Structure 1
Amino acid sequence: MTGTWLVGGIVADGSGADPVAADVCVRDGVITAIGRAPSGAAVVDLGGMVLTPGLIDAHVHLGLSSPIRAQFGFRIPAAELAADIFAAAGQALDAGFTTVRDTGGIDGGVVGVIAKGKVRGPRVLSCGPVQCQTGGHGYYGAAWEPTELWEAHHVPGLCALSLMSGNADELRRNVRESFRRGAGFLKLCVTGGVVGGHDRLDDTQFTHEEIAVAVQEARARGTYVTVHAHNNAGIRNAVRAGVRCVEHGTAIDEPTARLMREHDVALVPTFAVVEQLTDAEGMDLDPRTRNRLHGVRRRMEAALEVSRAAGLRIGLGSDLIGPDQRRRGRELSLRAALESPMRALVSATSVNADILGLGGSVGMIRVGMRADLVAWRRDPLHDPAVFADPDMAALVFKDGLMMKGESR
């Protein structure tokens, strides 16, 4: 069989099965065989490295890759914003992430530039601008500035943080505008947030009827709505309105987890950003952010345990913001400490692929799947700190193309 064989590796296929020694054949961007390479085949020698599917980060903000306070204050030129966005995209790829779901901040041009290969980066799925209620989470304008000026800060084709809606009709218009710009799914903020300008974590935002409008528009296009949500009241509103995924889920309790399970709603916890934000000064954030963080990590851990017991699909997202997003794999290391390295890997591969609607093409090492693969210098299933070190990702393939490393 023609193609290139990756030989001499230990395959952890993303399903949760025990790793096995096997060779993997790649042809035209697809995995065409798994077994033993035939004599005389073109090979890449992995030399005993662990081969996993390309990692998937289900919660990224490439459009927030600059110093945050300066970016929110609109003090950074578009050229610098672009440079920072594209640097973060390359960093994701170098850390072993071949697919990311951008949950707010970039406009359609970024997705296109990376897809065309003009800039190094992973496969990007994007919601475009976040949908937020007037003055809600996702709005960072100055208190004195009229809200109607907010959209003037967008840079078309590059970055567009959020669109604000004051009622269901405005939300319908804004989600249709997001789809016009190329959004592949929708994200609504239905509670306050940690990095908030005008809200609190306990706030609920958007009514059931408003959320249902976004769900209706998404379903009309064969896609879904995910929601930024920390508290149970906001999560329950969103689940009953028909959303398919919850981001963060900090305070999920048993009744809310059961409701999510009944409606087949997935969860994407985000631990790395909590760790990142504890250095509020180093992150150039408003010092009040530190107060909002109090107890978030502990509650998120409890919510993860409750959600796992309820049988939810639990993905993985880093939610990193700011100019240094190199250690995106830290999310896997943190999750490995709470569950296991294998569970973290499965969440970051096959489960995330399922949540993103890509389960038939990426997320596992299987014949017929896209050849998104990472070869690790050390075994991350024995030492999950490996996931957090980009240098440990020796070879990274996206669609069968070697994006990082050199063949031997």
Structure 2
Amino acid sequence: MRLVIRNARRLDVGKMAIIEDGPLVAEAGKIVSIGEDASADVEIDAKGSFMLPGFIDAHVHFRLATLDFAKLQRWSEVEFGIVMAQLAKETLRRGFTTVRDLGGDVEGLMRAIKAGAAEGPRIIRAGRMLTQTGGHGDAESGPRPVPTCACEMRHTAFGIVADGPDAVRKAARHNLRDGSDFLKIHVSGGVASPADPLESIQYTAAEIAAACEEARHRQTYVAAHAYSAESIIMAVENGVHTIEHGNMIDAGAAACMARCGAVMVPTLSTYEAMDLLGRKMGFPEANLVKNSKVLEAGLRSLEIARDAGVTLGWGTDLIGESQARQRREFAIRAEVETPEEILRSMYEVNPKLCGLSGEIGTLTPGAVADIVLTKVNPLEDIAALGGDDAIERVIQAGRPID
């Protein structure tokens, strides 16, 4: 199928400028030309709208399909599948044509999307998260028997509990064998988990190094959930490539990240969403207190990282019902960043994290024809991309989404 889009104002990501350079032609899912007319099987008159590359969210969780964590403990795979498919469909229709899933079993969802049984974005996945006993990714509730040996491992659809370098290595190899594009570990406490203080340090240098070595052997990398400065430093000094969240970073940790060439993926919209929805969804008071702390620190963490020269990606980490607020991240970051900085995070940094540089995040010949049409000029008012009516059309791999 040949798609032709006429009368659009294209965002040139390389120049970070709006260009009016004639029709865009896509065939077999890829952009084949810009500025050269052609006959069309499907033609779209953009009528002066702005044409952007498809949005890329570098931190999602389709397996965390609801903010009601009690449901997550008792849902069947059928229930998970139904809700995850709906979340994926809504994500695509918000303009996100590629996402990086940071933990949980999404194999079935990916297969359904590939087979055409479900609509959804292109998914780059970490697979099951790796965590220590009592860590942020230890999702089982209720009493559990004492392990019979130090290397004993437990797992759910969300993560693998692995203690010690050998167990972490085994868990990493398992995920990579099962198709994980990269690995995800936890090195600090979290907001949603009940058993670990926010400031707690999780995993040791040796455990982190084991995961990073296995990733490196497969030509990929490790992402680490981390809030505190100490956990960030320990992670990047032992090989972690991306720090997810990073809200409690300080100048020393930021300098360490910059020196090591690590990337930070802020996820500020999720803390705002949990502040607004958490009590309604039954979040315990202790979790709400933790959320308030990282919410307050969020914008300052961006400034600290940016001033130190840390490369920033673009993510949201929204859970279940709150995923509808996905484009809100544009407005939050616009409080301290320029539109150009935000767009480069999404369109230049995120493709590298997905291993798809040159294929996504750009409207140039040879790239995948992932396109968003909007009345919003992102270089003038990027916050407006969060509006309910901001997106006019979404095209995924040359196919208009109805």
> TM over 0.5, yes or no?
yes
CA contact (8 A) 2:270 2:322 kept: no
Deviation at 1:131, TM superposition (A): 0.3
Measured against aligned partners, the alpha-carbon deviations of 1:62-112 in whole angstroms (never above 9, x if no partner) come to 01112432234x232322211111111011100000000000122422222
Q: Distance in 2 between matches of 1:356 and 1:313?
A: 15
Is 2:308 the partner of 1:293?
Answer: no
Deviation at 1:42, TM superposition (A): 6.4
CA contact (8 A) 1:95 1:389 kept: no
Q: Which residue of 2 aligns with 1:34?
A: 34
Q: Which residue of 2 aligns with 1:167?
A: 164
Q: CA RMSD in A?
A: 2.3
Q: 1:348 aligns with which of 338, 346, 349?
A: 346
Deviation at 1:39, TM superposition (A): 8.2
Higher mean C-alpha displacement, 260-269 vs 275-284:
275-284
The amino acid of 1:162's aligned partner reads G
Q: Which residue of 2 aligns with 1:7?
A: 6
User: Structure 1 unaligned runs (5+)?
Assistant: 155-159
Write out aligned runs for 1:371-386 (5 A). Answer: 371-386=369-384
Write out aligned runs for 1:133-152 (5 A). Answer: 133-146=132-145
Q: Which residue of 1 aligns with 2:326?
A: 328
Q: Distance in 2 between matches of 1:246 and 1:328?
A: 20
Q: Which secondary structure state, in structure 1, belongs to the residue aligned with residue 75 of structure 2?
A: coil
Q: Distance in 1 between matches of 2:268 and 2:347?
A: 17
Higher mean C-alpha displacement, 254-263 vs 120-129:
254-263
CA contact (8 A) 1:95 1:327 kept: no
CA contact (8 A) 2:185 2:222 kept: yes
CA contact (8 A) 1:308 1:314 kept: yes
Q: Distance in 1 between matches of 2:130 and 2:124?
A: 16
Deviation at 1:165, TM superposition (A): 0.9
Higher mean C-alpha displacement, 138-147 vs 273-282:
138-147
CA contact (8 A) 1:332 1:345 kept: no
Q: 1:401 aligns with which of 382, 388, 399?
A: 399
The amino acid of 1:24's aligned partner reads L
Q: Which secondary structure state, in structure 2, belongs to the residue aligned with residue 15 of structure 1?
A: coil
CA contact (8 A) 1:314 1:351 kept: yes
Q: 1:198 aligns with which of 195, 200, 220?
A: 195
The amino acid of 2:279's aligned partner reads E
Deviation at 1:282, TM superposition (A): 2.2
Q: Distance in 2 between matches of 1:337 and 1:30?
A: 35
Q: Which residue of 2 aligns with 1:157?
A: none
**Gap change, CA 1:171 and 1:151, over 3 Å in 2:** closer
Q: Distance in 2 between matches of 1:70 and 1:42?
A: 46
Deviation at 1:36, TM superposition (A): 5.0
Measured against aligned partners, the alpha-carbon deviations of 1:107-153 in whole angstroms (never above 9, x if no partner) come to 422222222322100000111111000111111322523377x9887
Q: Which residue of 1 aligns with 2:24?
A: 24
**Gap change, CA 1:205 and 1:396, over 3 Å in 2:** same
Write out aligned runs for 1:9-408 (5 A). Answer: 9-15=8-14, 17-22=16-21, 23-37=23-37, 43-72=43-72, 74-146=73-145, 154=156, 160-279=157-276, 280-389=278-387, 391-404=389-402
Q: Distance in 1 between matches of 2:146 and 2:281?
A: 26
The amino acid of 1:60's aligned partner reads V
Q: Distance in 2 between matches of 1:67 and 1:314?
A: 27
Higher mean C-alpha displacement, 240-249 vs 330-339:
330-339
Higher mean C-alpha displacement, 205-214 vs 330-339:
330-339
**Gap change, CA 1:42 and 1:81, over 3 Å in 2:** closer
CA contact (8 A) 2:154 2:161 kept: no
Q: Which secondary structure state, in structure 1, belongs to the residue aligned with residue 312 of structure 2?
A: coil
Measured against aligned partners, the alpha-carbon deviations of 1:216-251 in whole angstroms (never above 9, x if no partner) come to 111111111010000011111110111111100112
Higher mean C-alpha displacement, 5-14 vs 51-60:
5-14
The amino acid of 1:8's aligned partner reads N
Q: Distance in 1 between matches of 2:358 and 2:376?
A: 28
Question: How many pairs align?
Answer: 397
Q: Distance in 1 between matches of 2:171 and 2:177?
A: 10
Measured against aligned partners, the alpha-carbon deviations of 1:138-177 in whole angstroms (never above 9, x if no partner) come to 11322523377x98874xxxxx111001211111111111
The amino acid of 2:138's aligned partner reads Y
Q: Which secondary structure state, in structure 1, belongs to the residue aligned with residue 74 of structure 2?
A: coil
Q: Distance in 1 between matches of 2:326 and 2:289?
A: 24
Measured against aligned partners, the alpha-carbon deviations of 1:359-379 in whole angstroms (never above 9, x if no partner) come to 121111122111111101333
**Gap change, CA 1:41 and 1:176, over 3 Å in 2:** closer
The amino acid of 2:75's aligned partner reads I
CA contact (8 A) 1:33 1:367 kept: yes
Measured against aligned partners, the alpha-carbon deviations of 1:21-56 in whole angstroms (never above 9, x if no partner) come to 133221221112222536889632101111100000
CA contact (8 A) 1:95 1:390 kept: no
> What is the percent sequence identity of the aligned residues?
33
